[in-house]
Structure 1
């Protein structure tokens, strides 16, 4: 039986003498892994339509075992994005996170459109500016929104222990508590890290706005490094 998917190709892995396994995030079935038979042969035409960071219509024949790709039509090659090394690094890092936290064969249209919007917005930024901070803040916005869509949203309005509204003081992030601790409650807690007040503001903005609106944000390297540290702590707790 043949199936047609609208997909975003995340990665590829060589197997056998001339084959590849592709990981694709699709509108219809979420994350899938399918086989590209013979795509590594010198004259294989299909390989050029299956490069990572490509949006395509994918045709898959399903029988026993893994589905096999029978055709692919590129809908967006994201050429501007592929030419920008800073953006490429961010995109493939984001793909890696998505693969770790999203299960296979689970339709999730919200995540699909979130990912598509991120790629389109990242391409616009890569064409307009060389400012790495803007590219990093967009990536972080996508990742915080992705975690929220996957059910890993955390509290950024009030202390997760006492419930009081957060003040402009020294606050802390706790991955185990899935949120922010005020200075008083943090005294008896282990495994916490400082979260800057600007970082809290950014996360609130991320969660309340569409990706396309995040391209307007500006941040300095200190803000970005603190947000990256918070993201790293949370991801390590999620995937451990």
Structure 2
């Protein structure tokens, strides 16, 4: 039996009344767990296990894997839930994060669930997701224009960097020099300077270097509600994310 705080990333129904959850924990990363009878009328746990809630959960090992026997919602992110655009961005990123992470739900993991050791990557991903949700909650509660999709892809960039899927965004993949020109070229998850693009007649997608400057600020902890470079930022982040799914598959 173990007690953990976890974010709900996704769930799927199976059987007549049961549901399988994907949980994001600080201590052990992603965990898959079953909650039995949660779809029955008046089920006590139904309101405590929903996306994007942060919930306390009691986990018990069974022959079917980890089972959630108790749960209590700690944070609901109510402003996000009331804002359709913010909620759509959160749900999309939760689904992407769920696909990128591998769950440690085997028997070997059973013996480690009671350990107090925290894997650095698991902790960092957990804290990134928490920071993202708090940022979205903060902006969703205000009557100011916000580009929630832009914030979503800022978080994706941070996650890809933490997982090791982001290429070097500081130097050219060919010559190794720092980027100084106004534009950089993307080809197959690598970035090239303008000199190398011209010298080798490279054909790729051009992006303003200012997009990389925004990414670097984001990797240092900044979050931006809007930017004149939001569109190319999102386009480049999508390319990075697509390539990461190829690696995962």
TM-score, with length taken from structure 2: 0.85
Aligned residue among 146, 155, 177 for 2:159: 146
Does structure 1 residue 4 correspond to structure 2 residue 10? no
Q: What is aligned with 2:72?
A: 73
Shift of 1:121: 1.2
Q: Aligned pair in 2 of structure 1 residues 205, 129: CA closer, same or farther (>3 Å)?
A: farther
Structure 1 unmatched runs, 5+:
none
Shift of 1:100: 1.9
TM-score, with length taken from structure 1: 0.88
Q: Partners in 2 of 1:5 and 1:70 — Cα distance? A: 12
Q: Partners in 2 of 1:17 and 1:80 — Cα distance? A: 32
Does structure 1 residue 168 correspond to structure 2 residue 181? yes
Structure 2 unmatched runs, 5+:
110-118
Q: Deviations over 1:26-64 (max 9, x none)?
A: 122211111110111112111111111100101111122
Q: Partners in 1 of 2:197 and 2:243 — Cα distance? A: 18
Q: Partners in 1 of 2:34 and 2:132 — Cα distance? A: 26
Q: Aligned pair in 2 of structure 1 residues 103, 185: CA closer, same or farther (>3 Å)?
A: same
Does structure 1 residue 117 correspond to structure 2 residue 131? yes
Q: What is aligned with 1:214?
A: 223
Shift of 1:228: 1.5
Q: Partners in 2 of 1:168 and 1:87 — Cα distance? A: 35
Most deviating of 49-58 and 59-68: 59-68
Shift of 1:176: 3.3
Q: What is the number of equivalent residue pairs in this alignment?
A: 230
Shift of 1:206: 1.0
Does structure 1 residue 203 correspond to structure 2 residue 210? no
What value does the CA root-mean-square deviation take over the aligned residues?
A: 1.9
Q: Aligned pair in 2 of structure 1 residues 148, 189: CA closer, same or farther (>3 Å)?
A: farther
Does structure 1 residue 234 correspond to structure 2 residue 240? yes
Q: Could you list the structure 1 runs, at least 4 aligned residues long, displaced by more than 3 angstroms after superposition.
A: 187-191
Shift of 1:148: 0.9
Q: Aligned pair in 2 of structure 1 residues 72, 30: CA closer, same or farther (>3 Å)?
A: same
